Amino acid sequence: MAVKKRLDLSKPIHTVRSWSARKSIPAEYWHGFASTGLATLEELAEAAALRLAANDDTQSSEAA
């Protein structure tokens, strides 16, 4: 049985859902995720770097 951890970000649910839709968590909220064990800072940084790299690839292919 999966256990859901509660994370109080003091943000409206719609804001958090938009992060999920964009697959991007603003860096100022990373500590909250790391402190609850939902993700490590390294995992969050790696995900952000991969997302940026994917965006760079998309922009360079559009320019060609």
For the chain, where are the alpha helices, taking DSSP H only?
13-22, 30-35, 41-63
Q: Is residue 2 part of a domain?
A: no
* Phi then psi dihedrals of residue 37, to 5 deg: 85, 10
- Tell me which residue range forms the domain holding 31: 16-63
Which residue is it, tokens 């992060």?
19
Among residues 32, 27, 33, 15, the alpha carbon closest in space to that of 51 is found at 27
Q: Indicate whether 6 belongs to any domain.
A: no
Q: Is residue 3 part of a domain?
A: no
In this prediction the pTM is 0.70
Q: Is residue 1 part of a domain?
A: no
Domain count for the chain, please give it: 1
Q: What is the pLDDT along the chain (64 residues), one digit of tens a residue?
A: 555 667 777 888 899 899 989 888 999 999 999 999 999 999 999 999 999 898 876 666 655 5
- On whether residue 44 sits in a domain, the answer given is yes
